Structure 1
Amino acid sequence: MGGLETGTEPAPYKVVETEKMFRLRRYFPDDPGVDASHIILVPPMMVSANVYDVTEANGAVSVLHERGIIPWVVDFGSPDHEEGGMERTLTDHVVAISRVVDLVRRVVGRDVHLGGYSQGGMFAYQTAAYRRSEGVASLVTFGSPVDITAAMPLGIPANLVVPGVELLGDRFFNNLWIPSWLARTGFQLADPVKTAKSRIDFLRKLHDRDALLPREDQRRFIEQEGWVAWSGPAVAELLRQFVVHNRMVSGGFVIDGDVVSMSDITCPILAFVGETDDIGQPVAVRGIQRAAPDADVYETPVPAGHFGLVVGSTAGRLSWPTSAEWILWRDGRGDRPDAVAPMDASTTVGSGISWANRLSYGVGQVAGASTAVSREIFDAVSSIQRTTVAVAHESVRTVPRLFRLGQIQPSTRISLAKLMSENERRTPHNELFLFENRVLTHEQVNTRIDNVVAGLISCGARPGEHIGVLMDTRPSALVVVAALSRLGAVAVVLASGEDLPEMLKLSDTHAIITDPTHLDEAAEVSDRVLVLGGGSGDSRAIARADGDKIVDMEKIDPELVRVPIWYRRDPGLAGDLAFILFTKTQGRISKWSITNHRFAMSAFGAAAAAGLTNRDTVYCLPPLHHASGLLTTLGATVAGRSRIALSNGVDPETFSFEVRHYGVTVVSYTWSMLADVIRSEDFDPAQLSTVRLFMGSGLASGLWSEIVEAMPKARVLEFFATADGSTILANIGGDKVGSMGRALPETNAVRIAAYDADTEQLKVDAETGFIYEAGAGEVGMLLAHAAQRFESNGPVLRDVFRTHDRWEITGSLFRADADGDLWFVGSAQNLIRSPRGIVYPIPIQEALSKVALIDQVTVYGVGEPGTQVAVAAISLRTGSTSITPTALRVALGEMPSDLRPDLVWVTDEIPLSESFRPISSGFAARGLPRPGAKVWFRDAEGRYRRYTASAAKDIDWSSPTPHAIDRTQN
């Protein structure tokens, strides 16, 4: 009939501020609180704000006030009784709490402490991160999980829960809400044994009023009064961001359009850990130490379950007195509490709840112990071999991509823009671009793309037209490329520099879209320049725009553009030309034409190899004009429906911050892009714990090994792709450092044809007329099966290995090992033709890259073909001044003597391209290095000796015989 009358009175409070989202209570309003410390307490969404005042003697507000702390409580009310309450989002709650912090600080004139129970503590963490800890003296949380998937309630394995949770968040809770009775039931079902035990104890004591009275207020709160409704959008956002994506740990969650990471928290933290808490399990709670590495994190273990952390005798005896002592200590008014110690996050598997704690908590909890043990056994088995469920889930993600790729025909509508349209229809409100703390959803990006298309139409652009794109890798550049795809035009992706005029000529391009940063460069080489997006020169762009030669597209109102009858959204067919890229070999610029089909091959193939999903955030470092930037990164990310985080530059400090801030799980790279990061003195692999994969191309074996050694939990996925996409290889296993792996499924099959490098001809079987296939270990020409007749760029041969087959010559030389994995040895155009025969540059580079002292390596030939001298230029790492001949001999020892470089010399710096590829053309043009203390030559026995002026006189570089030795040298 409502319970027993206990005669207790709630603590006095006054509502000092009322807004749409909350009412702010100030407890004990008659206490002026002069020079007192202040704490703001936040309840979970489904629990009444009265949770901090359930019992008169042990209530949080009373205990805190008795010890000189003024408590403030945020009351969100019951959403089903508030205007617009059922549309509230998680962001609304965090922004409201941040507003409360400002209100209280303004009143009290000092920083305030922020605390919360369960999800209220999660709100406190998120608010502190959102504010970058501004105005927050410390955080105090009670049973608030951070690494949620590390220990799910009831000990259920995360990989069984997350797929269902994702479905609920996307399809169910966006349109429904949770009433208070369901919230109460869910809480009770989370610990059914304890709930049943409590009710049995209550029934057994019905005859004894005095025995029931001490727990009556607590019982009524749990059974009826303490629960409020839960808005559907808030639940959906909670599930999506913090359960499915676990972004409390990984970072990169979104609050009010800003990218937020727990690593932004710098204030001290005290986390109360329930030793028998099966909801906020210890392992999940202790995740805060990894999530906020810049904060001083402390903990207090409490022998209680989830609710007992804040309500009841244990809370009144331990939790709240310790909280008061912590607050006074942090404000310089006392010593550190005895119960507070630096957090111990050593337990990383299981729930973190010991058997002893479970047994001492009650015999009924043994059932929970068995659940947790089952989970730990499951985790152990999963570490040896993935379960059938996990494999099935991966197959559901990967197989359709490969199946769709295999079904593409020349008339199939497929393009970058179409993929982006499909993603918008699936998840319009999911984030797509993260850049400079800004967040753009699929819907916002596609709207921007459509607006740019309208601007292009206004400027006279048409389907099939070649239009240059000269922009930094930022959202506006990706939008432009997608807009050209949506229009059906060809995006000619340009790199700045002296080769720009030749690129325009080769691609028959007469108009350039650029950002303000590259306006001057674009205007010098083109009579038609369209300026779009932000950058360092916005005002200059506006001033120079004349509407004819230079057009400021930001001034075009898309609503006023009349769309012509011919316009069709996303018209691109598989056989249509989509992009033009450029490569430079031996100083010559080559054009690579990429069809929509080859783009799709790269996009779907790379997404499948990397296992990309909407739970991934891909950190895009390569420039857009590089194949890795356009195809492997942008294409794979769109195909995988992942988020794209864009960077302003590659330096160790920015890299570590943005990886944590954005919650990066996959890092894309090219060549030596990651060298300065990995080799920095300040590099801390622990800060990159969210990264599971590095993917890209051109990674030297030495740097590859360093990455694997520094981050053993992350994997390297090295691709090899011709710029036109005819060949896509991937080292998926990652166990053979330096190998390019094999062709991706459903992409063009590859074979290695026997090749005579001296005559530059494929080797023909005199009897059959077919081409020989190279044997294991034999260097040959890589051929790609030309299944689609409409898109071959390079020379295509027919009747190669059998009648009526078609193979495209890639121009790249490989060898296959005994397992069938492929190893790149160099481009046919870049071979060094020495008097003793062919010298392959790539194996030399790979061998020298493994020397610990060496930073960059480039290998080139000097002289005319047939008499070239093989030269290896190396630069040393910071702090290294020299290298020994012994180190060179050991590094090159596995190579035959005649395949080693003739000269090795140390230079102060090796120039790098925009994609961080070492550039050797300048060295080759200068000829042989001068004799000196930092130059070594290969003697007749394959050893390296100092290259002095006298030694140079004794060596005949044109002779195929071994070099003469200067006997005066040691």
Structure 2
Amino acid sequence: MSRRPSDAITWGMMLRKLPTIARAVPRIVKGMKLANVQDPTQPCGLGWCFEQATQRNPQGPALLCGDTVLSYAQVNEQANRIARYLLTQGVAKGDCVAIFIENRPQLLVTVLAVAKVGAVSAMINTAQTGDALVHSLALVTPVAVVVGDERVAAFDDVRARIGLSHGRTWWVADQENVPAPSGFVDLMRASEQYPGDNPASSQHVFFDDPCFYLYTSGTTGLPKAGVFRHGRWMRTSTSFGLIALDMQPEDIVYCTLPLYHATGLCVCWGAAICGASGFAMRRKFSASQFWSDVRRYQATTLGYVGELCRYLVDQPASASDREHRVTKMIGNGLRPGAWAAFKTRFGVDHICELYAASDGNIGFTNILNFDNTVGFSLMAWALVRYDHDSGAPLRNLQGRMQKVPRGEPGLLLARIDDKAPLDGYTDPTKTEKIIYRDVFVPGDRYFNTGDLLRNIGFGHGQFVDRLGDTYRWKGENVSTTEVENVLLQHPQIAEAVAYGVEINGTNGRAGMAAITPAESLATLDFSELLRFLQCKLPAYAVPLFLRIKVKMDTTGTFKYQKTRLKAEAFDPCLTGDEPIYAWLPDSSTYVRVDRQLSTGIQGGQYRY
């Protein structure tokens, strides 16, 4: 993504923002005080914040979904009953409870209850099955699991490998008057007789206590569990809810993002709780129903990722496009090409683009409402030169890293200090791998984000691309190693290299893999291969393109040359005699890509 001259922030642009800055200063000061809890004995975090919001707006809507509207008082009481029940069942502070429920109010009520106990919710990706699900659970050694009825089949498939007793396997109904399946305890029914007042345990949760385990793609091909502490919840909910968005009780956030990710769970829900505002959700995103929902819930604020915005822009224009109450939106991944189109068409005044990583220690926020930027960060950060093949930062002869000039892409590093501690992963060895030491001066420590940004002026960053062994597609991080490992399980594939490639008009990168057949191309059944991949991988991780190679190209150190593969992508004019195959939308096999098909894909004739 090249920087256009209009993206640079000038003195004139900053001067025009002075009234906005003046209005924001009081809430920034207040927000910084609330967000940075220093006293290790001061109650804080998710449960405490929700109790404060309940006092502020007890009868106001807290959770909205379909025809269901639950007030803050109702959600708080239900969570209190569950929390008290969990305590009687032996769930204690610091214990991990795995949560495997799709987007619906019961998910957040359960998460809130676990937080009030002081236990830790492991937010399992609801697309996971089989080995990936077993791995995610094994990483965090849960004392119990809560399974939504919609995920019972996936859990039952691996139950024998988990090792939890039936008494610690709780179930949450998806419809009324449905009995719990065999081997599960009905969580809501078991807890309904317990008192609904705030448990004492929620006053004994402090800033350094873990709140969530959030999963990120690992370079080994399987997820890593990042620790998200209650102190960081305070910083996140306050930074976005008060400082960035100035949320109020009359506001409603509409969010269709998966709530096992930090953007939906911590940023969007956290902002709503900070403002004692409503949080409206949908099980899964629907482009055709999106604005109808927005009007139905009278939403004032949207949670988004770039892909979601692109789908909405691609919908046929309607006379009702601006018939809504939305004035602000928060999320990430909105590319400059779609930014102006979305803002103009739907009349949204403030796009609060952000940059953060659930396993990191830094966040950027577009508080001042400039276009095409993730905003600025109050943490210390630097953009450094990097090796284009390995993605590793470069050091000079003195062993120090080198900052890039303003406007040039660089690898984003975030300084680790008392103001910006790094929670890391459940596995300390994996945490150590993302820390660089002696970066600019002896003894300093920096977190490697693995992302490229550029400074476009006045400390404002612009996201450029991801580096390393993951790419982003359909709002999800895809591990190239996981895709490669699955491909290599197929008996007809001898070698595999996975990577992400760009399709014009889409956000993120589509999956592509270069493969070497074990025997010959003629023996490869592409329909069967696609079915195999669909059984082994989440839908967003199944490669859309395959490149057939007789022999893989490697460097002198035997590393695959991904840089060239990415650059040539699925253009048959560049790949020579190595055939390319594509999985087209709504089809059941891979088809050969010629110049006409490649042009059609890049020209938007196929909706990915």
Instruction: Give the TM-score, by structure 1 length.
Output: 0.46
What letter corresponds to residue 596 of structure 2 in structure 1?
A
Query: Residues 677 and 791 of structure 1: is their aligned pair in 2 closer, same or farther, counting only changes over 3 Å?
Result: closer
1:455 aligns with 2:94: no
| Contact 1:578/1:595 (<8 A) preserved | yes
1:829 to 462, 469, 472: 469
Which residue, out of 501, 504, 527, partners 1:848? 504
Distance 2:269 2:347 in 1: 26
Alpha-carbon distance in structure 1 between the residues aligned to 2:579 and 2:302: 36
Match of 2:248 in 1: 613
CA distance in 2, matches of 1:392, 1:932: 55
1:907–1:792 distance in 2 versus 1, CA, 3 Å: closer
Which amino acid counterpart does residue 827 of structure 1 have in structure 2? L
Cα 1:780–1:861 change in 2 (3 A) is farther
Partner of 2:114: 484
Give the C-alpha shift of residue 485 in structure 1. 0.7
* Aligned counterpart, 1:933: 596
> Per the alignment, in what secondary structure is the counterpart of residue 556 of structure 1?
helix
Q: 1:449 to 1:805 in 2, by over 3 A?
A: same
- The partner residue of 2:453 within 808, 814, 825 is 814
For the 8 Å contact 2:360–2:423, the answer to whether it is kept is: no
- SS of the residue aligned with 1:934? helix
Comparing 524-533 with 601-610, greater Cα deviation is found at 524-533
Could you tell me which residue of structure 1 aligns to residue 285 of structure 2?
A: 650
SS in 2 for 1:756: coil
Q: Could you say which residue in structure 2 is the equivalent of 1:752? A: 383
Quick one: higher RCO (CA 8 Å, sep 6+), 1 or 2? 2
**1:475 corresponds to 2:105:** yes
Establish whether residue 664 from structure 1 lines up as the match of residue 299 from structure 2: yes
Q: Tell me which residue corresponds to 1:513.
A: 146
- Give the SS at the match of 1:742: coil
Given the alignment, which residue of 315, 338, 352 partners 1:680?
A: 315
Work out the number of aligned pairs and report it. 495
Provide the residue aligned with 1:584 in structure 2: 217
Alpha-carbon distance in structure 2 between the residues aligned to 1:929 and 1:571: 61
Secondary structure class of the residue paired with 1:568: helix
1:802 paired residue number: 441
Instruction: Report SS of the residue matched to 2:103.
Output: coil
Instruction: Find out whether 1:791 has 2:431 as its counterpart.
Output: no
Q: Deviations over 1:272-308 (max 9, x none)?
A: xxxxxxxxxxxxxxxxxxxxxxxxxxxxxxxxxxxxx
Amino acid at match of 1:935: S
The alignment-based identity, stated in percent, is 19
TM-score calculated relative to the size of structure 2? 0.71
Can you list the C-alpha shifts for 1:325-375, whole angstroms capped at 9, x where unaligned? xxxxxxxxxxxxxxxxxxxxxxxxxxxxxxxxxxxxxxxxxxxxxxxxxxx
CA–CA separation in structure 2 for the residues paired with 1:764 and 1:725? 22
Structural mapping, 1:387-406, within 5 Å: 394-406=24-36
| 1:542 match | 180
Question: Does the CA-based 8 Å contact 1:651-1:677 persist in structure 2?
Answer: no
Taking a change above 3 Å as real, the CA distance of residues 774 and 726 of structure 1, as seen in their structure-2 partners, is same
Q: Deviations over 1:167-198 (max 9, x none)?
A: xxxxxxxxxxxxxxxxxxxxxxxxxxxxxxxx
Alignment partner, residue 689 of structure 1: 324
Aligned to 2:521: none
The residue type paired with residue 387 of structure 2 is D
Q: Is the 8 A contact 1:455 1:556 kept in 2?
A: yes
2:125 aligned with 1:495, yes or no? yes
Match of 2:206 in 1: 573
The residue aligned with 1:766 is: 397
- Counterpart CA distance in 2 for 1:444 and 1:481 is 15
Secondary structure in structure 1 of the residue aligned to 2:223: strand
Determine if the alignment matches structure 1 residue 867 to structure 2 residue 497.
no
User: Equivalent residue for 2:510?
Assistant: 858
Q: Closer, same or farther in 2 for the Cα pair 1:580/1:628, shift >3 Å?
A: same
Q: Is contact 1:905-1:935 (8 Å) kept?
A: no
SS of 2:204's partner is coil
1:503–1:612 Cα change, 3 Å: same
SS of the residue corresponding to residue 766 of structure 1 reads: coil
Question: Is residue 247–residue 272 contact of structure 2 (8 Å, CA) maintained in 1?
Answer: yes
Q: State whether residues 78 and 196 of structure 2, in contact with CA within 8 Å, keep that contact through their aligned partners in structure 1.
A: no
Distance, in Å, in 2 between the alignment partners of 1:552 and 1:704 is 45
The 8 Å contact of residues 582 and 592 in structure 2, kept in 1 or not, is answered as no
- Cα distance, 1:664 vs. partner? 0.5
Aligned pairs for 1:5-16 within 5 A: none
Q: Is the 8 A contact 1:811 1:829 kept in 2?
A: no
SS in 1 for 2:446: strand
> Which of structures 1 and 2 has the bigger CA Rg?
1
Compute the RMSD of aligned alpha carbons. Answer: 4.0
Q: 1:441: how far off?
A: 1.9
DSSP 3-state at the match of 1:668: strand
| CA distance 1:736–1:861, change in 2 (3 Å) | farther
CA distance in 2, matches of 1:521, 1:436: 25
Distance in 2 between the 1:623 and 1:591 partners? 17
Partner residue, 1:630:
265
The 5 A counterparts of 1:278-293 are none
Distance 1:417 1:427 in 2: 15
Give distance in 2, aligned partners of 1:699 and 1:904: 29
Q: Alignment partner of 1:483: what SS?
A: helix
**For residues 448 and 935 of structure 1, do their structure 2 counterparts lie closer, same or farther at Cα, with a shift above 3 Å needed?**
same
Structure 1 residues 748-806: Cα deviation after superposition (integer angstroms, max 9, x where no partner): 32212332244554333434x43322223444321112123573443334432234433
Q: Structure 2 unaligned segments of length 5 or more: list them.
A: 1-14, 426-430, 472-479, 481-498, 515-551, 604-608
Q: Return the alpha-carbon distance in structure 2 between the equivalents of residues 432 and 562 of structure 1.
A: 17
The residue aligned with 1:782 is 412
Verify the 8 A CA contact 2:257 2:285 in the aligned structure 1: no
Q: Partners in 1 of 2:51 and 2:212 — Cα distance?
A: 19
- The structure 1 residue matched to 2:189, chosen from 548, 555, 559, is 555
